[in-house]
Chains A and B, each alone.
Chain A
């Protein structure tokens, strides 16, 4: 079945540091890939998405590229801010039926000033 694996957290960085959160997936065909973010006390919200190989999703300075050859969708940001502190989830939606999301375990990110 489909699955998503994220790098284990928690991750703690200083403000303006470079961020990478690794995400790899297992799926048949070409799933759609997503990064969701959950700020403290809130539900999840979409950060970015990519629907086919080599697509790059971007939003709020975050980027992720759909790499079919390595089955990866790593999240990056060049200079993080304290306001980026949150839990980040990688997810995929499979190609067959259902339109269900499969989530990774989440990575808690803390940015110190």
Chain B
């Protein structure tokens, strides 16, 4: 059974803290993605990665960075958390070739106070 796991389901951080969100997939997928989900806005792409050490900006990269040191792991970093980054964060992975679905993790609900 395919699986994407995220390090935390719920996280509460203070403004200005550095925050790490971890995502691991066990499907040997090349592509990995980070989205944020907000009511009425759907999912918006923050960053994605085609391969180890490769990353590309999505639609809303400001205030975020990412790291992919191993194929199965994709980390999202909030360098200095702000209240407007309170959201649900979803990680996904996808095989490179063909028309394939993205597989999603359960999400991390981050609250920045």
Contact = CB atoms under 8 A, between A and B. Distances in A.
Interface residues of B, number: 23
A7 to B, nearest CB: 13
Given A46-B101, A49-B99, A99 B43 contact: no
Interface string B67-107: 00000000000000000000000101010100101101111
Interface residues of A, number: 23
> Which 3 A-B residue pairings sit nearest by Cβ, starting from the closest?
A43-B104, A103-B42, A46-B101
A101 B42 contact: no
Nearest to A105: B42
Instruction: Give the secondary structure class of A's interface.
Output: strand
18 contacts: A32-B99, A41-B106, A43-B4, A43-B104, A43-B106, A43-B107, A44-B92, A44-B102, A44-B104, A46-B102, A49-B101, A89-B43, A99-B94, A100-B58, A101-B33, A101-B43, A104-B42, A105-B42
B25 interface: no
Interface of A: 4, 6, 32, 34, 36, 41-46, 49, 51, 89, 93, 98-101, 103-106
A42 B42 contact: no
Contacts of B31: 99
A34 B101 CA distance: 8
Nearest to B107: A43
B90 A44 contact: yes
A43 B90 contact: yes
A106 B90 CA distance: 15
A105 B41 contact: yes
Contacts of A42: 106-107
